[in-house]
Structure 1
């Protein structure tokens, strides 16, 4: 019989040894993970910077601008019948779009016109503008008729500001011009409420004024009403 002492192996020691053997890390994998994290961080940073630049660009767009008016102003529209502005010559005006392009609106130049006045904060305008935009995107205007939108009554402290973003988001397909800070175009056309639409015949006469929302049927009727007679 051997007198040599028995050696009992420690189980915990075995696990510890195994743990140390398995804890070795792969340097290549570590750097790959670091690289992915860095790329994600860069992508997020670029996206945030682009978003900030886009917001800054919109903030830099002037929402009102100088305008010029020529001709007698129309009486304020109060919805009375008969409308005292009927058969009056609509005033001409020059204004600019949100990107600074100059636009001259000259009643009597041979093209009939439908001019819509919109306020960004007006809930009725917020319903009518996309409806008309959708109609124009899917239908043709009658021959000899032009549609112009006027962004007016701008107030940075009220909802849905700035109007330049609103018109862009609604994909307004026609010309839109900026009124002045004093709403001079609106005043010249007798603006009394929103939305407000004025129909002008090809010879420059005012033939329709409407305050309030227009549904598709009323919109189509107005376009046909102001359109020049065929031939």
Structure 2
């Protein structure tokens, strides 16, 4: 009897832990939540970009009102992070990314904030200001067009991209500071 209860508890813990590593994006077509203009050279895709694939060109209105474009990272290693300000995993990992990224100035960090206004929590501008995040933030539209064209349906997702524009690694959910440092170090080694 005790063995059965132990097995049930383990199964329940595993089942509950799996969705805790990332937040799911919801689609609410036609619900305007932010004023942004964006372009992307790719349709929505069902799966995240895989290693070896090229990140599609995109540009969007930035949180500061200026354009943020993938071409801003051209020829340099880059971390492309898709996140939302209401996502607790994003709230924990982005300050760590900022701290670690400061050690690797040869790596460009670009971010896309998506699913804006869908859940209670800080707005993207409130979150970025409170955390003093130093990297550009592109604003996705109310249909999550950028996120879906990048194959992102759970956040945060980080694409670790070489100077050739090809994905070298993909991480979903939270990563600790030591793991982030190793990912940045590996990407920095590809710098020309």
Structure with max Cα Rg: 1
RMSD: 2.3
The equivalent of 1:150 in structure 2 is 112
User: Match of 1:88?
Assistant: 53
Match of 2:126 among 165, 185, 190: 165
- 1:67 match: 38
Tell me if structure 1 keeps the 8 A contact 2:63–2:139.
yes
Report the counterpart of residue 6 of structure 2 in structure 1: none
* Aligned equivalent of 2:68: 103
TM-score between the two structures when normalised by the length of structure 2: 0.73
Matched with 2:165 is: 204
Contact 2:163 2:190 in 1 (8 A): no
The CA deviation at 1:74 is 5.7
1:120 touches 1:161 (CA, 8 Å); kept in 2? yes
1:225 offset after TM fit, Å?
2.2
Q: Which residue of 2 aligns with 1:124?
A: 89
Q: Within 1, Cα distance between the matches of 2:183 and 2:45? A: 19
Q: CA deviation at 1:223?
A: 1.4
Partner of 1:187: 148
What is the CA distance between 1:219 and its match in structure 2?
1.1
4+ residue stretches of structure 1 with deviation over 6 A? none
One of 77, 98, 110 as aligned partner of 1:133: 98
Evaluate the alpha carbon distance shift between residue 67 and residue 109 of structure 1 in structure 2; reply closer, same or farther with a 3 A threshold.
same
Distance 2:191 2:171 in 1: 25
Q: How many angstroms does 1:228 deviate by? A: 4.9
1:207 aligned counterpart, secondary structure: strand
How big is the shift at 1:128? 1.2
Residue 166 of structure 1, CA deviation: 0.9
SS of equivalent to 1:161: coil
Offset of residue 190 of structure 1: 0.9
Correspondence for 1:40: none
Aligned residues: 160
Could you say which structure has the greater relative contact order, defined with CA pairs below 8 angstroms and 6 or more residues apart? 2
